[in-house]
């Protein structure tokens, strides 16, 4: 056998061992684990385009070799390229951003009419039942801290959230009452860190500022009279990796970056000492997304937006929370639970600004 033959044979063998090795390892593993080899699933459904795509995706997502290699490779990408995967963008000074938040600010958006129609329809339906609606778009992190994402943004930059501001203006023009957190946050962003570095969401301080503003707005308008329930604060420090970092799906990355430490103020009833709890009988219904979930239903619990809004208003509130679903899903849930609107005077509707464009199920008109 000539030297050339050995060389060619080596390359061919190495290539084939890799292809066959990976290809065969999965069905063998499946069989060893007592399962039907996933590769045979292709015969379990008609070969339609949809079924084939689903099969292909499932095969890649559940492959042991892919699942084993992916986190390490993502970590290598992070170390070498500061790349954290398709959903995450690395900013400056240890700040990380959720890509759709940034996309919403950079890219054109033409869905204003649909959003306006959905919000107006909801407003009018509630008004017909004598219920006030207060719309609270939550600024995305890059709207308030663009300089933490791009060095090109200088301190004292102008507003970058054009779409949201225009939407707010159009809503107000259409007679929908709104809270402008954009201006408020921009005024306070230099002195207080209003967002978590590793997370898409606001910090406890940002959340509290929003809750105070909404409470003050509701009282200013005379829609809510302060209740008699007394709450007090209990400081709780939590340490966690933010959701943006966790989106990279690499434990190695999480191990390399220290978790963010945050001190929350858990809201506790003065009379019972129990953490804040929602009440279905409240005058106020709060709809929203994960900006309401954080600190409230996540640890430390009872320390999120609704708890702080309740503390400000002196009464427990009713809530419907759906991650990423504040555009339509929360209203659909409300339409399935009409009893939640009984005795309500006010609905507060929070949604993050990126959901103007990316909200799950878009902006449908939902009959109540």
Binding site for other proteins (CB under 8 A): 4-5, 7-12, 14-16, 18-20, 22-23, 26, 39, 47-49, 52, 56, 59-60, 63, 66, 69-70, 72-74, 76-77, 80-83, 85-86, 89-92, 102-103, 105-108, 142, 146, 149-153, 157-162
Nearest approach in angstroms of CB 352 to other proteins is: 16
Residue 285: in which H helix or E strand, if any? strand 284-288
Nearest approach in angstroms of CB 160 to other proteins is: 5
Nearest approach in angstroms of CB 31 to other proteins is: 16
Nearest approach in angstroms of CB 120 to other proteins is: 26
Nearest approach in angstroms of CB 54 to other proteins is: 12
Residue 210: in which H helix or E strand, if any? helix 204-220
**Where does 21-156 show beta strands of DSSP type E?**
88-90, 96-98, 132-138
Roughly how many angstroms between the first and final C-alpha of the chain, as a whole number?
A: 81
Phi, psi angle pair for 178, to nearest 5° = -135, 155
Neighbours of 131 (CB within 10 A): 19
Paired tokens of 13: 């063998």
Q: Which of 91, 221, 226, 230 is nearest to 148 (CA)?
A: 91
Decide whether 105 or 126 has the Cβ nearer to other proteins: 105
Decide whether 72 or 336 has the Cβ nearer to other proteins: 72
Q: Which of 80, 59, 77 is nearest to 249 (CA)?
A: 77
Decide whether 86 or 220 has the Cβ nearer to other proteins: 86
Decide whether 35 or 281 has the Cβ nearer to other proteins: 35
Residue 319 and residue 278 in contact, taking contact as beta carbons nearer than 8 Å: yes
């Amino acid at each position: 056998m000539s030297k050339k033959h050995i060389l060619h044979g080596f390359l061919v063998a190495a290539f084939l061992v890799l292809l066959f090795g990976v290809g065969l390892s999965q069905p063998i593993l499946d069989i060893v684990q007592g399962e039907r080899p996933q590769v045979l699933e292709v015969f379990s459904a008609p070969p339609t385009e949809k079924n084939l795509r689903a099969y292909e995706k499932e095969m890649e997502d559940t492959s042991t070799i892919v699942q084993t290699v992916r986190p390490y490779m993502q970590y290598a990408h992070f170390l070498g390229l500061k790349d954290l995967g398709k959903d995450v963008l690395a900013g400056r000074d240890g700040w990380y951003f959720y890509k759709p938040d940034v996309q919403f600010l950079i890219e054109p958006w033409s869905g204003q009419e649909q959003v306006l129609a959905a919000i107006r329809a909801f407003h009018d339906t509630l008004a017909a039942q004598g219920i006030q609606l207060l719309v609270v778009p939550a600024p995305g992190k890059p709207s308030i801290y663009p300089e933490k994402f791009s060095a090109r943004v200088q301190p004292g930059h102008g507003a970058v959230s054009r779409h949201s501001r225009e939407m707010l203006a159009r809503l107000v023009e259409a007679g929908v009452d709104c809270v402008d957190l954009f201006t408020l946050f921009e005024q306070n962003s230099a002195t207080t860190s209003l967002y978590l570095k590793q997370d898409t969401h606001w910090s406890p301080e940002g959340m509290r500022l929003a809750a105070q503003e909404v409470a003050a707005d509701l009282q200013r308008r005379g829609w809510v009279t302060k209740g008699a329930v007394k709450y007090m604060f209990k400081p709780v420090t939590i340490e966690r990796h933010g959701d943006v970092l966790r989106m990279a799906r690499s434990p190695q990355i999480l191990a390399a970056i220290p978790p963010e430490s945050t001190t929350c103020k858990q809201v506790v009833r003065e009379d019972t000492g129990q953490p804040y709890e929602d009440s279905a009988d409240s005058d106020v219904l709060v709809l929203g997304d994960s900006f309401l979930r954080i600190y409230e239903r996540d640890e430390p619990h009872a320390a999120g937006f609704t708890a702080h809004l309740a503390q400000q208003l002196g009464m427990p509130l009713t809530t419907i929370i759906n991650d990423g679903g504040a555009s339509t899903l929360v209203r659909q849930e409300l339409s399935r639970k009409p009893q939640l609107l009984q005795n309500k005077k006010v609905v507060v509707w929070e949604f993050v600004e990126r959901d103007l464009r990316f909200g799950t199920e878009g902006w449908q008109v939902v009959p109540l």
